[in-house]
Amino acid sequence: MFLSIAYPSWITPEIIPGFPLLRWYGLMYLFAFATAYVLFRRQVAAGELARVQGSPVTDDDVASFFTWGIFGLLIGARIFAALVYDTSGLYWSKPWLIFWPIDEAGRWSGLQGMSYHGGFIGGIVGMVLWTIRNKKPFLAWCDTMAASVPLGYTFGRLGNFLNGELYGRVTTSPLGMVFPSARRFPLSESWVRETADYLGLSVPAGAAMVNLPRHPSQLYEALFEGIILWAIIWFIFRKKRPFNGIITAVYTIGYGAFRFFIEYLREPDSDIGYRITRDGTPAPTYLLESFYNISTGQILCLLMITGGTAFLLIRSYQYRKHGK
């Protein structure tokens, strides 16, 4: 019995095969921004932001705020991906290539590689600068954004899935999926052969390598870091926030927690590997051998959880002491 799912053969990174300028990933980004914008405007239309801010919110304010936030997000996401996750050293020696969308062969490659954590930092910087420039309460605006972002983020992870990238580790779960671009493993290794036999994989006679099912971790993230986190914030915290900043804190902690645990199922970048391992020696990234093997993403998520918790405690103390 075949206990996994084949990645749909009709999915290609390009919306129109052979036309690289139109990619599903880019379209998903547009859907993500549009979704967040619609949810933000809905809160504004309901008077939620004006009520907290104490003054009307104009359409120009919303459009300008989003523009600054999105530019900050894109800049931060790209810089972080190039300088933290790229191990070639290319962008450190030639930083002008970070935003150059053409490869060395002169072909259009786009801006390949975006980091969520870099986008998180860049987006905050953009929003801070806008609120300072326009003399608006940062936490009130940031809370409204934090209630809007998670559902839009769902489309970003769907874009990763459509790209066939950022898949998870090898699994024998019925949810496992065979991704065409995933690393293949030699059948000469006993664990590979045993896994293939257990799953009932059809291996061509004489084949030396096999593509094993992986966790579709992009879909896990779309569900938990996107839909579920959005539902928690939107239906529980959005209208009952005792003080400004609580939604920002809940989003930061919630995303960090969900992503930290999903990272155990998602394969880290093989060229980076783990930052921390159980015995201090390199461990295979395609298998979950130990919960003590910690990736770069998990370290950044722990920083989010710690920072969000500290911020929540500080704001709670300020609210109890000063009532605001």
- Would residue 318 count as lying in a domain? yes
Structural domain count, the chain = 1
Summarised one tens digit per residue, pLDDT across range 17-31 is 666 667 777 888 899
Mean of the per-residue pLDDT values of the chain:
90
In a domain, 7, yes or no: no
Reported residue count of the chain is 324
Answer whether 137's CB lies under 8 Å from 127's CB: no
pLDDT digit string, tens, across residues 148-157: 999 999 999 9
Q: Give domain status of residue 261, yes or no.
A: yes
Alpha helices in 222-275 (DSSP H): 229-232, 246-262
* 135: alpha, beta or left? (left if phi > 0; alpha if psi -120 to 50): left
Structure tokens at 76: 């931060």
Q: Is residue 229 a part of any domain in this protein?
A: yes
The verdict on residue 8 lying in a domain is no
Count of helix runs (H) and strand runs (E) in the chain: 12, 6
pLDDT, residue 99, reads: 77
Query: Does pLDDT of 188 surpass 80?
Result: yes
The pLDDT value recorded for residue 170 is: 96
Percent of the chain that is helix, strand, coil (3-state, to 5): 55, 5, 40
Q: Which of 174, 204, 210 minimizes the C-alpha distance to 192?
A: 210
- On whether residue 116 sits in a domain, the answer given is yes
User: What whole-number distance in Å separates Cα of residue 222 and Cα of residue 128?
Assistant: 27
Query: Is residue 164 within 8 Å of residue 179, measured between CB atoms?
Result: yes
Least confident of 10-24, 82-96, 180-194: 10-24
155: containing domain? 20-199+212-322
On the 0-12 / 13-18 / 19+ scale of CB atoms within 10 A, 283 is middle
List of residues 6+ apart from 202 with CB closer than 8 A: 2
Phi, psi at 5, each rounded to 5°: -115, 140
- The answer to whether position 245 is within a domain reads yes
- At residue 1, the pLDDT reads 47
Q: Are 275 and 290 in contact, with CB atoms under 8 Å apart? A: no
For residue 141, tell me if it sits in a domain: yes
Name the band, by pLDDT with cuts 50, 70 and 90, for residue 103: low
For residue 307, is pLDDT > 50? Answer: yes
What global pTM score does this model have?
0.91
Work out the burial of residue 27: count CB atoms within 10 Å of its CB; fewer than 13 is exposed, 13-18 middle, 19 or more buried: middle
